[in-house]
């Protein structure tokens, strides 16, 4: 790997990973229920960027750590421009920037450079690491891309649980303002959930686009390039579906309290948007598995005739369960809820058969980890579902308590994790299980 690649490729992976972590910390600390003081938020974000850049820089040779840390800080800063506009607006009128916006931007750039320099000095204290191959950084970026979709799933779950899908009545603008220039001070209640979900969607779009370019330049396998291109198309389609749901809703006369309401078109679009979002996340998890170095280097062949059909049955059951759960959450029909609860038993059995079967191959790390992960997450999902039943039911149209809101969102997000882990396990089964044949090998003449 030449000098240019040794800086650019790790900087992309480390910079995007740091940005995703900063966005997640910022989202949690600004939740209406927490109301974290601004000084505390600043300290947490500062610690996050230092930890992210340091952990990343220590993965490269010592001679490259300063340049990689500085480049990674600039990449993270550029990604953060998607949300920085919300802090640079005056808040008095749409798209109006502060008078001292140039000074603020220069100060932000200086902060990134200082953070990169400090992180490099800390990383220098760690032992020397050999220079990684381009495929290794591509694999890491695949994991970062999958991780970038987690906040979208969580914020989308909050939007659905809080009934805030139409809190922002227009699209692609937000209350007639540019989406990236809508003031943070105005993001309150359901508006915060919905607008944060849109911003996280833009982050996933940028990350997936970068992954696509990265893959085209580094990856040799055509089928992997096709998978990444399909993921990028799905992410773009997700944004379009979410926007269509908003603009298809019915406007009302009271533009202050209820600017739009769901109708026979917008509500099904909301359900499709939720289901396809989790399917997109599952595909990103599978892509992360195919891009990792273990996939490229492992030479184990597993003799297991039932693992492939078990994982296929598991995926089908989980997709059906996802559809029933989405119908229950969006339409609030009792029969959809009961079907979701009843079918969970079959989904649990399918996961148990596939997960425990994969975990029996204890010497094959990808199968063991994915199998154990999907089983443990499913057990947690059953507990979350039972707890949510007592807090969320009955659906009477009244605002849910914070505990019910949290449980319902965690139940949905953990379901996405189960589907993503199951998709990765499905791909690993195809990679590691040897092809079976009924033909007996011919005997060798003496």
- Looking at residues 415-439, what average pLDDT do you find? 86
Residue written as token pair 């199951």: 422
* pLDDT-wise least confident of 264-268, 271-275, 330-334, 408-412: 330-334
Assess whether 145 and 265 both reside in one domain.
yes
Assess whether 35 and 122 both reside in one domain.
yes
The pLDDT value given to residue 446:
35
- Asked which of 74, 99, 132 is the last residue of a domain, the reply is 132
The pLDDT value given to residue 89:
84
| Chain-centre distance for alpha carbon 34 | 22
Strands, E assignment, 134-265: 250-251, 260-261
CA atoms within 13 A on the CB side of 426: 21
The pLDDT value given to residue 214:
95
Assess whether 56 and 183 both reside in one domain.
no
More confident residue, 44 or 250: 44
More confident residue, 404 or 40: 40
What CA–CA distance (Å, rounded) separates 432 from 424? 12
- Asked which of 294, 316, 348 is the last residue of a domain, the reply is 294
The pLDDT value given to residue 2:
53
> Is there a domain that residue 444 lies in?
no
What's 163's DSSP letter? T
Determine the structural domain holding residue 252 and report its residue range: 139-294
> Is there a domain that residue 193 lies in?
yes
> Is there a domain that residue 443 lies in?
no
> Is there a domain that residue 280 lies in?
yes
47-105 pLDDT, tens digit per residue, is 999 999 999 999 999 989 999 999 999 999 999 999 988 888 876 666 778 888 888 88
pLDDT(133) > 70: yes
The pLDDT value given to residue 12:
95
> Is there a domain that residue 259 lies in?
yes
Assess whether 168 and 93 both reside in one domain.
no
> Is there a domain that residue 234 lies in?
yes
The pLDDT value given to residue 164:
84
Assess whether 159 and 276 both reside in one domain.
yes
pLDDT(323) > 60: yes
pLDDT confidence of 379, banded at 50, 70, 90? very high
The pLDDT value given to residue 253:
57
Number of domain units in the chain = 3
Assess whether 304 and 418 both reside in one domain.
yes
Check if the beta carbon of residue 13 is closer than 8 Å to that of residue 79. Answer: no
pLDDT confidence of 281, banded at 50, 70, 90? very high
The pLDDT value given to residue 52:
95
Assess whether 390 and 289 both reside in one domain.
no
- Asked which of 270, 294, 318 is the last residue of a domain, the reply is 294
pTM of the model: 0.91
The pLDDT value given to residue 329:
83
Mean pLDDT of the chain: 88
Assess whether 260 and 314 both reside in one domain.
no
Percent composition of the chain: helix, strand, coil (DSSP 3-state, to 5) = 75, 0, 25
Assess whether 259 and 393 both reside in one domain.
no
3-state DSSP of 52-97: HHHHHHCCCCHHHHHHHHHHHHHHHHHHHHHHHHHHHECCCCCCCE
Assess whether 127 and 143 both reside in one domain.
no
Assess whether 93 and 172 both reside in one domain.
no
- Looking at residues 117-142, what average pLDDT do you find? 89
- Looking at residues 99-113, what average pLDDT do you find? 87
> Is there a domain that residue 413 lies in?
yes
More confident residue, 41 or 394: 41
pLDDT(20) > 70: yes
Assess whether 399 and 428 both reside in one domain.
yes
- Looking at residues 144-152, what average pLDDT do you find? 96
More confident residue, 444 or 394: 394
> Is there a domain that residue 230 lies in?
yes
């Amino acid at each position: 790997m030449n000098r240019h690649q040794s800086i650019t490729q790790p900087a992309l992976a480390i910079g995007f990973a740091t940005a995703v972590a900063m966005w997640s910390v910022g989202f949690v600390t600004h939740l209406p229920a927490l109301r974290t003081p601004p000084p505390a938020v600043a300290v947490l974000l500062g610690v996050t960027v230092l930890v992210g850049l340091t952990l990343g820089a220590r993965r490269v040779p010592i001679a490259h750590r300063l340049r990689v840390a500085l480049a990674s800080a600039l990449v993270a800063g550029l990604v953060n421009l998607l949300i920085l506009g919300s802090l640079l607006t005056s808040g008095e009128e749409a798209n109006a920037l502060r008078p001292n916006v140039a000074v603020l931007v220069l100060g932000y750039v200086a902060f990134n450079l200082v953070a990169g320099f400090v992180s490099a000095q800390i990383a220098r204290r760690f032992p020397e690491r050999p220079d990684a191959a381009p495929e290794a950084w591509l694999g890491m970026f695949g994991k970062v891309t999958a991780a970038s979709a987690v906040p979208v799933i969580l914020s989308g779950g909050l939007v659905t649980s809080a009934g805030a899908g139409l809190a922002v009545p227009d699209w692609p603008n937000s209350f007639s303002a540019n989406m990236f220039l809508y003031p943070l001070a105005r993001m309150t209640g359901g508006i915060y959930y919905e607008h944060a979900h849109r911003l996280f969607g833009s982050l996933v779009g940028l990350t997936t686009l970068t992954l696509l370019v990265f893959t085209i330049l580094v990856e040799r396998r055509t089928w992997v390039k096709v998978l990444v291109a399909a993921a990028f198309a799905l992410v773009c389609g997700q944004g379009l579906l979410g926007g269509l749901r908003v603009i298809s809703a019915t406007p009302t006369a009271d533009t202050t309290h209820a600017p739009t309401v769901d109708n026979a078109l917008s509500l099904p679009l909301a359900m499709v948007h939720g289901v396809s979002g989790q399917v997109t996340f599952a595909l990103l998890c599978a892509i992360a598995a195919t891009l990792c170095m273990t996939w490229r280097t492992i030479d184990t062949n597993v003799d297991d005739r039932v693992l492939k059909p078990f994982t296929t049955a598991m995926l089908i059951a989980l997709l059906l369960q996802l559809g029933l759960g989405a119908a229950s959450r969006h339409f609030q029909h009792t029969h959809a809820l009961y079907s979701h609860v009843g079918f969970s038993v079959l989904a649990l059995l399918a996961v148990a058969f596939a997960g425990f079967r994969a975990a029996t191959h204890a010497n094959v790390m990808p199968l063991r980890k994915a199998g154990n992960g999907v089983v443990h997450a499913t057990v947690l999902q059953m507990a979350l579902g039972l707890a949510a039943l007592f807090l969320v039911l009955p659906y009477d149209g009244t605002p849910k308590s914070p505990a019910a809101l949290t449980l319902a969102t965690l139940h949905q997000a953990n379901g996405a994790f189960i589907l993503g882990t199951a998709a990765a396990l499905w791909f690993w089964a195809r990679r590691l299980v040897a092809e079976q044949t009924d033909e007996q090998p011919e005997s060798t003449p003496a």
